[in-house]
A = this chain, B = another copy of it.
């Protein structure tokens, strides 16, 4: 951790504080808002460097901005195509993936697993909406 500390700038520390204190994924814009008197570019620069150092994760998603999260235990992600909400899914990529990736000869630094579909919340709402529609017909 000593080495990590060395490379940290004040802004990186502040960004990291915001991220590590948040239970949810945040976009660059959200982080920007929760820190006063900071330029947008600086936040992006800090996020880039924190990502490169492996201290945080950047998640690139369909439609809209990337989100950042403080690296805790490994997990996967699920994104609802309907409401756009992002869920953490416990568990990690597992041996199978690691082995396949290793055999490729590349140096793997991290693996993102992202599923897309309809979340349980939207599934229920759709059901309700359908019932309403039927009633009104």
So how many copies of this chain end up in the complex? 2
When distances are taken between beta carbons in the complex, the residues of chain B under 8 Å from A104 are 78, 87, 89, 120
Asked whether A17 is an interface residue with its Cβ less than 8 Å from the other chain, the reply is no
The answer to whether A97 and B113 touch (CB under 8 A), given A78-B104, A108-B78, is yes
Q: Bound state CA distance, A110 and B112, in angstroms?
A: 14
Interface size bucket, A side? 35 or more
Asked whether A107 is an interface residue with its Cβ less than 8 Å from the other chain, the reply is yes
What would be 14 A-B contacts, judged by CB atoms less than 8 Å apart? Answer: A60-B62, A62-B66, A76-B100, A76-B101, A78-B101, A81-B109, A89-B100, A90-B100, A91-B100, A104-B120, A105-B123, A106-B119, A106-B120, A107-B117
